[in-house]
Chain A
Amino acid sequence: MFRGKKYFIEALWEGLLKISGSVTSIIIILIVLFLFSEGMGIFNKKVVEDGYVIAVNKNNPVKDLTPEQIKNIFDVKIVSWKELGVNINEDEITLLRLDDIPNYFPEDQIAEDMSNLPQIISQILKEHPGMIAFIPEDFAKKGFSEKVLDLGNINLKEFFGGKEWFPTAQPAPQFGVIPIVMGTLWVSLGAILIALPFGIAVAIYSAELASKKVHKILKPVIELLAGIPSVVYGFFGLIVIVPLIQKVFNLDVGETGLAGSIVLAIMALPTIITIAEDALRSTPRAMKEASLALGANKWQTILKVTIPYSISGITAGVVLGIGRAIGETMAVLMVTGNAAVIPHTLLEPVRTIPATIAAELGEAPKGGAHYEALFVLGCILFIITLIINLVVEYISSKNKVA
């Protein structure tokens, strides 16, 4: 009877562990699926803002405009149809937004319920062959006689190859992710380059060389670093690191990728150090003593025995550290300047994926193109970290001492 009860409890425990394990995995898979299903919607969205259309004169031969061209037209950077390869008798482009209508048409003749707007807009477009209009869909339906451009959907090439990020631009938002992805990679790479040597050096020192007294102080101090909220790091970065970088490199502006890298490196250090140190300490004493007995000195033992033995633990620490660096939001948001331009060095302002999502998701209308674009950014971030994990997994499995 007693044995039966014991078995039952053990089986219960086992079952519980199994369930919690599978529930966690299922939830993770669901989150990833959700991320991708929300994000993919963007490629079914129109190039022009939802609910609006671009219209031109009936005789205008223009067929297709890219989002970039539309933006430049409405920013008055493209001012003639010739620049777009369109031949038309009135070459200069004039813009028509709804608010401009009173400039072309007496306001008191617009019907109270605005039912004659389609006719009015048609008439204005007819009189101005070079005009391009940005109007609500509803006014381009019944009674509208001019040409509505069919510009198609946002396509993969414009999204992944685009170099401009203007998610709220009217009439055509620009969703070019290159600057943001590049910014993320630059900042993370910089952070790793700074954190890795420091982290591993401190871990080796603390595990192998430090006296007990030093270790007693060092360990809690490092663990304290991990407990500081990221906003505090961000604030520290903005007030201390940013002006410092500006002075040291004699820059026009201190909010740079490097500032982000330094802050992230500081934030990743405790993770890397703690885990790498634990891994180094787990090297069996017998192995180290065997090495010393063979005549190897302390350094040779560390380099040839301790590190190779604990390499998988060290890489685990590095992965977790990098994971924190790539996904970190608040600290980066405050120090990198968030300019969406493709960075060429670490001394330029950059915009990262997490900062973009954090800053913009709150105000993006749910289900809109902007909202979905931010989800695609989340997918890209997920894929980047996945690749890093796989690479590290591969390296550590190769280097493992059997």
Chain B
Amino acid sequence: MKIKILGFYLALLLLNLGVNAQKIKGSDSVLPLSQKQAEAYAKKGGRATVTGGGSGVGIASLMDGSTDIAQSSRKMKFGEKAKLVAKKKQIKEVVVAKDALAVVVNPSNKVSQLTRQQLEDIFTGKITNWKQVGGSDLKIIVYSRETSSGTYEFFKEVVLKNKNYKSSVLSMPATGAIIQSIKQTKGAIGYVGLAYLNKEVKALKVSFDGKKYFAPTIETSKNGTYPIVRPLLYYYDIKKTKVVSPFINFVLSKQGQDIVRQVGYIPVK
């Protein structure tokens, strides 16, 4: 009798896992967000398992069907789209949150705004002294994240227009280390996620058109005026819409978007 009941529950559990559990895989930047969402979703009776591995890994798993949702911190690349087309899969894209990067300097720095071109010249090594951009006569020390980080690639793509950083940039293993170093180095410049901004460093206003400068805040990132913003995306197979929509709807709901804010990203709604 007992065994029968146990077997029944086990079968139910398996059924549950098989039908309702949504597998989410991909970007490590989106990972903490998806995990928090999955926890809250579990309290409502849903089930989602989240794993990292990088945006590329997530999209590759979506192609071979080993995940239901691919989480990504970048738009799908042309090459990836081409592969999906070759496999005759139709993919839907949902923006679940946004992430802004703030360009930060030492608080004693007089410079308070820079254009994209100036940033590119600083990070690629054409501008080496703060007096070239209206500051005091001080050597510019450039801090960056490690090459493996998604933030590194994103900044390179959007701000440096795919050019490589100069080879003498100091690369730090974590955002916390960048903040610490910029705090204690007068000529320092670096970039950190909006959520990490604090009073120990000064965030610069940035302009991409050379006319209007915008400070990085949740407001400017949300309305699209601050330019260094990346979407955090979920991709799924259109055929699986029914399976994944409860979870995605939850993420886009008010509760889900509150979680986005708690994790330090910018809500889309």
Contact = CB atoms under 8 A, between A and B. Distances in A.
Contact of B184 (A113, A254, A363): A254
B147 A167 contact: yes
Contact of A246 (B139, B146, B147, B185): B185
Interface stretch (B1-9, B79-87, B91-99, B235-243): B79-87
A11 B124 CA distance: 68
A75 B163 contact: yes
Nearest to B183: A243
Nearest to A338: B171
Interface string B123-149: 010000000000000110100001111
Contacts of B148: 168, 359-360, 362-364
A365 B181 CA distance: 30
Contact of A166 (B139, B146, B162, B167): B167
A113 B147 contact: no
B187 interface: yes
B114 interface: no
Contacts of A31: none
Contacts of B188: 253
Contact of B170 (A167, A169, A179, A255): A255
A381 B73 CA distance: 35
Given A99-B78, A252-B185, A364-B148, A339 B180 contact: no
A377 interface: no
B136 to A, nearest CB: 13
B76 to A, nearest CB: 12
B148 to A, nearest CB: 3
Nearest to A351: B171
Interface string B52-67: 0010100000000000
A53 B54 CA distance: 24
Nearest to A76: B163
A76 B117 CA distance: 14
A167 B147 CA distance: 8
A238 interface: yes
A252 B177 contact: no
Interface string A310-349: 0000000000000000000000011001111100000001
A168 B172 contact: no
B253 interface: no
A253 B86 contact: no
A252 B54 contact: no
A230 to B, nearest CB: 13
B173 interface: yes
Nearest to A164: B167
B167 A341 contact: yes
A239 B183 CA distance: 10
A325 B167 CA distance: 25
Contact of A360 (B54, B146, B167, B180): B146
Given A252-B141, A252-B185, A340 B167 contact: yes
Contacts of B85: 112-114
A238 B139 CA distance: 21
B164 interface: yes
How large, as a class, is the contact surface on chain A? 35 or more
A51 to B, nearest CB: 8
A97 B162 contact: yes
B173 A363 contact: no
A179 B169 CA distance: 13
Interface residues of B, number: 37
B82 A255 contact: no
B258 interface: no
Interface in B148-207: 148-149, 152-153, 162-164, 167-173, 177, 180-181, 184-188
Nearest to A52: B79
A170 interface: yes
Given A71-B164, A168-B147, A98 B141 contact: no
Interface string A103-131: 00000000011100100000000000000
Contacts of B78: 98-99
A242 interface: yes
A255 B171 CA distance: 11
A144 interface: no
Given A98-B78, A363-B148, A252 B163 contact: no
Interface string B223-264: 000000000000000000000000000000000000000000
B181 A255 contact: yes
A138 B81 CA distance: 13
Task: Identify which of B139, B162, B186 gathers the most chain A CB atoms within 10 Å of its CB.
Answer: B162
A253 B147 contact: no
A252 B187 contact: yes
Contacts of A362: 148
B54 to A, nearest CB: 7
Contacts of B184: 242-243, 246, 254
B49 to A, nearest CB: 21
Given A114-B81, A252-B138, A338-B146, 8 more contacts: A74-B162, A97-B162, A98-B79, A99-B78, A238-B180, A238-B181, A243-B184, A338-B173
30 contacts: A51-B79, A71-B164, A74-B163, A75-B124, A97-B162, A99-B78, A114-B81, A114-B85, A136-B79, A168-B147, A168-B148, A169-B164, A239-B180, A242-B184, A246-B185, A252-B141, A253-B188, A254-B184, A337-B171, A338-B172, A339-B167, A341-B168, A349-B168, A349-B170, A359-B146, A359-B173, A360-B146, A363-B54, A363-B147, A365-B56
4 cross-chain pairs, A with B, having the tightest CB-CB distances, nearest first: A363-B148, A337-B170, A98-B78, A359-B146
Interface of B: 54, 56, 77-79, 81-82, 85-86, 124, 138-139, 141, 146-149, 152-153, 162-164, 167-173, 177, 180-181, 184-188
